């Protein structure tokens, strides 16, 4: 040792060899006495005297050395109940006071030596590391119940895991690992997501526990995975802070993620939908957003509600298998709940033509889909945005072009006069069948669902540049040329572009479309006033002049609203 230190050579390689492992004792002792090959006496510092406590020693052994190969015994005491002979003279005095009946019974019994139960403190060597490292054994030798038992002991969980994977990784680094998917999501799984320690992976080096305090042993979205990692290639003699930056740890992390996704993929369909997705579906969606390298694998694990089935979730693979001939896009719509999206004006024609639409009803859903450029060669189409096209015959194209020409006066009037400064443009809709109109976002704008989510976030103060930019973008006003209200509005505009009733009707239609398209109205009171005026007029109820907006008044006139 002296020669190596004199020559400036590293002594780190000696740790664990040649009997110098006892050097770690100097962390708590100022003197260590080694006798023969097996007796070691440590003289502790005064401030480390708590290591003399038996419970402290037991806890340390169980935490760090529970799975090492050689046995560790602790000289420990326990209380036992033993039988001891009773003092005869004292017993005779007690016998004199017995009643006659008891004496007769004793005469019939064979005379036995008198004893009594007493408690004694017994000292003995107690084995502390009696649990064998299950991950060191071949998988073929381990029963399913053994994995479940180990999981419950290791994780302090009373439920069986949903799934597990046991593997040995070789290559740049060799390690063994067992990973588990718990039955129930850990409490507070998304509290301070990504900012505090939530990993449930324990790292061992040569069966010696190192730490479970890593922030990135697993990516944030897999913070629910529980398990152990044991490697012989990582150094024992470095701090946990240094180990966290070790290059081999990044290799381990990459392999853990791949194996975890393989494990999740193999979960049976019924158990996947009923158990796993219910507890950890949000994690997978976050993974699609955050993990670029594994995005394709994660996309195959996604599940959504769909117009195909009211009860069961569907995967993207299943959706693609059911796509209609010549359908080149995966259609989806996002909203607060299933009822909202399936009754949305945006899906009217799609559903009538037999197209399947994915219903995204969780706040993270739309973010997740936007992070996916495509799936299986099929791009995604938000049906609440521009870009929705249908295959048309030549006859249908000619008919549509004729309608565009017929409604050109109305479309121009809506954009330049009635809804000036409110919409980017007005066009005839190909997606509406029952609704008179809808408000459609641009390809890079916010849908109504996304705008609602962004505005609801507590940290948005209205001063965020990107939020103001996206929310301030004008939308496209689509009208349904087959709807009687739109036909009546066209007639009024053709008769007179200055028709105030037509303008009022156009504004009400626009505001109603805003709500039905999932957006928020900036002034709901003004909208309510307009609706009340139209109701009064339709029922010929006179009213006093009511302000249309600041500085203007509305004069009642009669007009026809088709049923």
Confidence of residue 554 (pLDDT cuts 50, 70, 90): very low
Confidence of residue 460 (pLDDT cuts 50, 70, 90): low
What confidence tens digit (pLDDT) does each residue in 88-111 have? 555 555 555 555 555 545 555 555
Chain position carrying tokens 């709901």: 524
CATH number of 302-383: 3.40.50.11260
What confidence tens digit (pLDDT) does each residue in 225-266 have? 999 999 988 776 655 666 666 788 889 999 999 999 999 999
Q: Flag whether pLDDT at 392 surpasses 90.
A: no
**Axis crossing angle, helix 484-495 with helix 500-516, rounded to the nearest 10:** 150
Confidence of residue 555 (pLDDT cuts 50, 70, 90): very low
What was the pLDDT predicted at 39?
Answer: 82
The sign one gets for the Cα dihedral 119, 120, 125, 128 is positive
Quick one: which H or E segment has residue 59? helix 54-64
In this structure, the strands spanning 475-479 and 437-440 are: antiparallel
Q: Is there a binding annotation on residue 492?
A: no
Quick one: which H or E segment has residue 35? strand 29-35
What was the pLDDT predicted at 191?
Answer: 76
Nearest to 201 by CA among 247, 267, 135: 135
Burial (Cβ within 10 Å: 0-12, 13-18, ≥19) of residue 345? buried
- Cβ pair 67, 207 in contact under 8 A: yes
Chain position carrying tokens 């400064």: 421
Structure token pair of residue 354: 């037999």
What was the pLDDT predicted at 461?
Answer: 54
Q: Is there a binding annotation on residue 17?
A: yes
What average pLDDT score do residues 502-521 get? Answer: 93
Q: Is there a binding annotation on residue 22?
A: yes
Q: Flag whether pLDDT at 345 surpasses 60.
A: yes
What average pLDDT score do residues 430-456 get? Answer: 91
Q: With pLDDT > 70 as the criterion, what percentage of the chain qualifies?
A: 82
What is d(CA 51, CA 58) in angstroms, rounded to the nearest whole number?
Answer: 10
Beta-carbon contacts of 370 under 8 Å, excluding residues fewer than 6 positions away, are: none
**φ and ψ of 428, to 5 deg:** -80, 140
**Could you give the residue ranges of the DSSP H alpha helices within 216-347?**
240-244, 247-265, 269-271, 277-290, 295-299, 316-322, 338-342
Confidence of residue 18 (pLDDT cuts 50, 70, 90): very low
Q: In the chain, where are the structural domains located?
A: 134-281, 302-383, 384-542
Nearest to 225 by CA among 193, 180, 194: 180
Q: How long is the chain? A: 563
What was the pLDDT predicted at 81?
Answer: 80
What was the pLDDT predicted at 3?
Answer: 58
What is d(CA 279, CA 182) in angstroms, rounded to the nearest whole number?
Answer: 9
What confidence tens digit (pLDDT) does each residue in 26-76 have? 888 888 888 877 788 889 998 888 888 989 988 888 888 888 878 889 988
Chain centroid to CA 162? 16
**Axis crossing angle, helix 524-538 with helix 500-516, rounded to the nearest 10:** 130
* Angle ∠(474,477,480) on CA atoms, nearest 5: 170
Structure token pair of residue 442: 């641009």
Torsion from C-alpha of 497, 503, 505, 510, nearest 10 degrees: 110
Q: What is the pTM of this model?
A: 0.80
What is d(CA 118, CA 235) in angstroms, rounded to the nearest whole number?
Answer: 52
**φ and ψ of 256, to 5 deg:** -65, -40
What average pLDDT score do residues 206-235 get? Answer: 87
More confident residue, 24 or 174: 174
What was the pLDDT predicted at 559?
Answer: 45
Q: Flag whether pLDDT at 210 surpasses 50.
A: yes
Question: Can you identify the CATH homologous superfamily of domain 384-542?
Answer: Heat shock protein 90, C-terminal domain (1.20.120.790)
Helix (H, G, I), strand (E, B) or coil at 204: strand
Helix (H, G, I), strand (E, B) or coil at 163: strand
Q: Is there a binding annotation on residue 554?
A: no
What is d(CA 173, CA 303) in angstroms, rounded to the nearest whole number?
Answer: 35
* Mean pLDDT for the chain overall: 84
DSSP type of residue 22: G
CATH number of 134-281: 3.30.230.80
What was the pLDDT predicted at 213?
Answer: 79
Quick one: which H or E segment has residue 305? strand 304-306
- Cβ pair 212, 235 in contact under 8 A: no
Confidence of residue 549 (pLDDT cuts 50, 70, 90): very low
More confident residue, 216 or 361: 361
More confident residue, 38 or 212: 212
In this structure, the strands spanning 374-375 and 475-479 are: unpaired
**Could you give the residue ranges of the DSSP H alpha helices within 209-246?**
240-244
The sign one gets for the Cα dihedral 16, 20, 25, 26 is negative
Q: Is there a binding annotation on residue 559?
A: no
Helix (H, G, I), strand (E, B) or coil at 502: helix
More confident residue, 397 or 464: 397
Q: Flag whether pLDDT at 562 surpasses 50.
A: no
What was the pLDDT predicted at 40?
Answer: 82
What is d(CA 163, CA 224) in angstroms, rounded to the nearest whole number?
Answer: 13
Q: Flag whether pLDDT at 556 surpasses 60.
A: no
What is d(CA 417, CA 411) in angstroms, rounded to the nearest whole number?
Answer: 10
What was the pLDDT predicted at 20?
Answer: 46
Name which of 363-367, 470-474, 508-512, 548-552 the model is least confident about: 548-552
What is d(CA 225, CA 148) in angstroms, rounded to the nearest whole number?
Answer: 15
Nearest to 167 by CA among 263, 300, 235: 263
Beta-carbon contacts of 60 under 8 Å, excluding residues fewer than 6 positions away, are: 51
Burial (Cβ within 10 Å: 0-12, 13-18, ≥19) of residue 433? middle
Name which of 20-24, 351-355, 473-477 the model is least confident about: 20-24
Confidence of residue 117 (pLDDT cuts 50, 70, 90): confident
């Amino acid at each position: 040792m002296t020669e190596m230190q004199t020559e400036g050579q590293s002594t780190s390689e000696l740790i664990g060899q040649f009997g110098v492992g006892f050097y770690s004792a100097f962390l708590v002792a100022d003197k260590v006495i080694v006798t023969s090959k097996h007796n070691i006496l440590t003289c502790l510092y005064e401030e480390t005297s708590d290591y003399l406590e038996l419970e402290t020693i037991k806890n340390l052994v169980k935490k760090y050395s529970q799975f090492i190969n050689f046995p560790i015994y602790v000289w420990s005491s326990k209380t036992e109940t033993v039988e001891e002979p009773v003092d005869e003279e004292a017993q005779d005095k007690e016998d004199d006071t017995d009643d006659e009946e008891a004496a007769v019974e004793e005469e019939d019994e064979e005379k036995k030596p008198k004893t009594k139960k007493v408690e004694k403190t017994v000292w003995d060597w107690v084995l502390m590391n009696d649990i064998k490292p299950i991950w060191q054994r071949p998988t073929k030798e381990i029963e399913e119940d053994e994995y479940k038992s180990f999981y419950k002991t290791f994780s302090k969980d009373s439920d069986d895991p949903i799934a597990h994977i046991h593997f040995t990784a070789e290559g740049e680094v060799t390690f063994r690992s067992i990973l588990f998917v718990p039955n129930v999501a850990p409490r507070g799984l998304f509290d301070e997501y990504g900012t505090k320690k939530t990993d449930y992976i324990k790292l061992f080096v040569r069966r010696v526990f190192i730490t479970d305090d890593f922030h990135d042993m697993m990516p944030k979205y897999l913070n629910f995975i529980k398990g152990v990692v044991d490697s012989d290639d990582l150094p024992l003699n470095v701090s946990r802070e240094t180990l966290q930056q070790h290059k081999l740890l990044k290799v381990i992390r990459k392999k853990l993620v791949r194996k975890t996704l393989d494990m999740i993929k193999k979960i049976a369909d019924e158990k996947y939908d009923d158990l796993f997705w219910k507890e950890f579906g949000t994690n997978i969606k976050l993974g699609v957003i955050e993990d670029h390298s594994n995005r394709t694998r994660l996309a195959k694990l996604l599940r959504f509600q769909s117009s195909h089935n009211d009860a069961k979730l569907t995967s993207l693979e299943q959706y693609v298998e059911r796509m209609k001939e010549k359908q080149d896009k995966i259609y989806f719509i996002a909203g607060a709940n299933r009822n909202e999206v399936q009754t949305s004006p945006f899906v009217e024609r799609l559903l009538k033509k037999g197209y399947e639409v994915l219903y995204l009803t969780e706040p993270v859903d739309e973010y997740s889909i936007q992070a996916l450029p495509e799936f299986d060669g099929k791009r995604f189409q938000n049906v609440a945005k521009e870009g929705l096209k249908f295959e048309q015959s030549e006859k249908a194209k000619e008919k549509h072009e004729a309608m565009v020409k017929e409604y050109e006066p109305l479309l121009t009037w809506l954009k330049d006069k009635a809804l000036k400064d409110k919409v980017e443009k007005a066009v005839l809709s190909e997606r509406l069948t029952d609704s008179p109109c809808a408000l459609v976002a641009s390809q890079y704008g916010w849908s109504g669902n996304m705008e609602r989510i962004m505005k609801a976030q507590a940290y948005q103060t209205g001063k965020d540049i990107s939020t103001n930019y996206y929310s301030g973008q004008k939308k496209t006003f689509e009208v349904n040329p087959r709807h009687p209200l739109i036909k009546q509005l066209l007639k009024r505009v053709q008769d007179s572009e200055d028709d105030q009733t037509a303008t009022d009707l156009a504004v009400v239609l626009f505001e109603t479309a805003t709500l039905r398209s999932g957006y928020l109205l900036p002034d709901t009171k003004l909208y309510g006033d307009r609706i009340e005026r139209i109701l009064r007029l339709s029922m010929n109820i006179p009213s006093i002049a009511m302000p249309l907006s600041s500085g203007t008044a509305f004069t009642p006139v009669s007009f026809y609203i088709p049923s």
